């Protein structure tokens, strides 16, 4: 359920990015910020909020305490073979 909510949130954000209703709007917000620019500035703030929610919803807790495999030095090259 948490994953579905997360996916829905991302989908909404993807749709909100395509703000066709502001495409030709040249009005200024706060006296100096074009409306389209103000909208996308607010969008980035909303993205931060959504990220905080996503961390809460789908953070991979089970991976946090992962340990290196015994005998797996971090600096050695791995062997590979093409069959």
Task: Report whether 54 contacts 71 (CB < 8 A).
Answer: no
Note the Cα 44 to chain centre separation in Å. 10
Question: Between residues 1 and 79, which has the closer beta carbon with respect to other proteins?
Answer: 79
- Residue 78 CB, shortest distance to other proteins, in Å, is 5
Q: Is 29 in the site for other proteins (CB under 8 A)?
A: no
**Is residue 1 within the footprint of other proteins (CB under 8 A)?**
no
First to last CA, the chain: 41
Task: Return the C-alpha torsion angle 38, 39, 40, 44, nearest 10.
Answer: 100
Residues that bind other proteins (CB under 8 A): 10, 13-14, 17-20, 22-26, 28, 30-37, 40-41, 43-45, 47-48, 50-52, 54-55, 58-60, 62-70, 72-83
């Amino acid at each position: 359920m948490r994953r579905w909510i997360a996916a829905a949130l991302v989908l909404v954000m993807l749709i909100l990015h395509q703000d066709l209703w502001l495409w030709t709007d040249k009005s200024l917000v706060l006296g100096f910020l074009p409306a389209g620019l103000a909208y996308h500035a607010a969008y980035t703030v909303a993205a931060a909020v959504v990220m905080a929610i996503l961390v809460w919803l789908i953070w991979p807790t089970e991976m946090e305490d992962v340990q290196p495999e015994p005998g797996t030095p971090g600096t050695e090259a791995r062997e590979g073979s093409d069959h």
